[in-house]
Amino acid sequence: MTIDKNKLDYKNKIILAPMVRVGTLPMRILALECGADIVYSEELIDLKLGKCVRKENPVLGTVDFVDPCDGSVIFKTCDIEKGKVVLQLGTACHERALAVGKLVQNDIAALDINMGCPKEFSVKGGMGVALLGQPEKAKKILRTLVENLKIPVTCKIRLLPTVEATIKLVNDLATTGIAAIGIHARTRYERPNHRPHPEAIREIMKAVEIPVICNGGSKGFELFEDIEKFREECGADSVMVARAAQLNVSIFRKEGVLPMDDLIKKYLKLCVDYDNTPSNTKYCVQSILQDQQETPRGRKFLNCQTLQQIW
């Protein structure tokens, strides 16, 4: 087995952040078309993905990981995102994480472990931000993956209560051989309405060597330049965008954002081309429409049940 842990370069990259329900294949492709360098999947849970069966779909040109119980596609990828798609895994168990890693490693560019999700579902299961309180367990998961997979492994964390504690954690996690670390510039108990702390990332950057992907500043982003500005404020190697991309993924366009109608048309075409589920398609379009959902056109859209009706 050839091991190339540095295949994915994490320097100077603009990245679509992991987002449950948003980061499915059509949105990831659109993010790449708009200029993102790397795209993350939504967080997928090890128990669910681990029981999936890999199937090639020659009609759509996709590789699907299918739940054998109900036939639903849990993760879908295709050649367009080859070498650029990072699968984010929710896990609390190194063995289960490794089993999933082995299942998907030929179809993804890197595997990321979620160590920042503060939602009850994650924390109760020992996943997400719960791992930050158990660094030995977190390291065991990362080390197992780094030692046994042929793709780069990363993790996404939040700030700890002090910069010193975060530096210690980042350097500790880096000893496992991970290729990069994503840092959401908020602490565990801070929510999206709390201001992020780019200055803390800037301090961390002085004391760590591992490539850092900063995240958390996108609430007010309106243009591509805002992404770069946040990266510069943080002094980080790369930057990851969630909420601003959920609202308008063309934030990744250096030429400027697309008008809402053009964006929705492009997105819907990809949903049809890749047979995205109507519920996921609707969720993402609703995020783009925001208050336009209350218009007659918006309400007509909300009543659609199938992709054909939506299109």
Stretch that binds ligand FNR, among 1-9, 101-109, 211-219, 277-285 (CB under 6 A): 211-219
Which is nearer to ligand FNR, 144 or 246 (by Cβ)?
A: 246
- The count of residues interacting with ligand FNR (CB under 6 A) is 23
What are the tokens at 22? 């948003």
Binding to ligand FNR, residues 43-102 (CB under 6 A)? 43, 88
Position among 246, 248, 276, 281 found at the interface with ligand FNR (CB under 6 A): 246
Nearest distance from residue 1's CB to ligand FNR, in Å?
29
Which is nearer to ligand FNR, 205 or 214 (by Cβ)?
A: 214
17 counts as binding ligand FNR under rule CB under 6 A: yes
Phi, psi for 116 (deg, rounded to 5): -130, -5
C-alpha distances (whole Å) from 75 to each of 6, 58, 146 are 24, 16, 22
CB-based contact 159:182 (threshold 8 Å): no
Position among 5, 9, 20, 304 found at the interface with ligand FNR (CB under 6 A): 20
242 counts as binding ligand FNR under rule CB under 6 A: yes
Active-site option among 34, 93, 117, 284: 117
Stretch that binds ligand FNR, among 65-73, 92-100, 200-208, 236-244 (CB under 6 A): 236-244
- Annotated catalytic residue 284: no
Q: Which residues belong to the active site?
A: 117
Binding site for ligand FNR (CB under 6 A): 17-20, 22, 42-43, 88, 114, 116-117, 156, 184, 215-219, 241-244, 246
